[in-house]
């Protein structure tokens, strides 16, 4: 998952949360620096784990900013 953040007011942390069939599998914490633009990414090897996947992007307080869902068959 890629993150293209813009107009970051202060240094902060974000977390990518990988969820399979409703169960949290992995959290990846990343630092984002203040500035006009910041790009980063988080990845996970799915190891052919089939089912309903969701990746949530959360802010430093844990609030969900965005999510994406996909199916592995």
Walk along the chain (73 residues) and give the pLDDT tens digit of each residue: 899 999 999 999 999 999 999 999 999 999 999 999 999 999 999 888 999 999 999 999 999 999 999 999 9
Q: For position 48, what pLDDT does the model report? A: 87
In eight-state DSSP terms, residue 47 is: T
Cα–Cα distance, 65 to 53 (Å, whole number): 17
Q: Is the pTM of this model over 0.75?
A: yes
**Segment (H or E) for 39:** strand 35-41
Cα–Cα distance, 29 to 26 (Å, whole number): 10
């Amino acid at each position: 998952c890629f993150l293209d953040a813009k107009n970051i007011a202060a240094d902060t942390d974000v977390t990518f949360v990988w969820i399979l069939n409703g169960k949290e599998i992995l959290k990846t914490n990343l630092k984002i620096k203040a500035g006009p633009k910041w790009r980063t990414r988080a990845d996970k090897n799915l190891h052919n784990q089939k089912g309903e996947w969701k990746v949530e992007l959360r802010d430093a307080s844990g609030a969900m900013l965005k999510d994406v869902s996909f199916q592995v068959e």
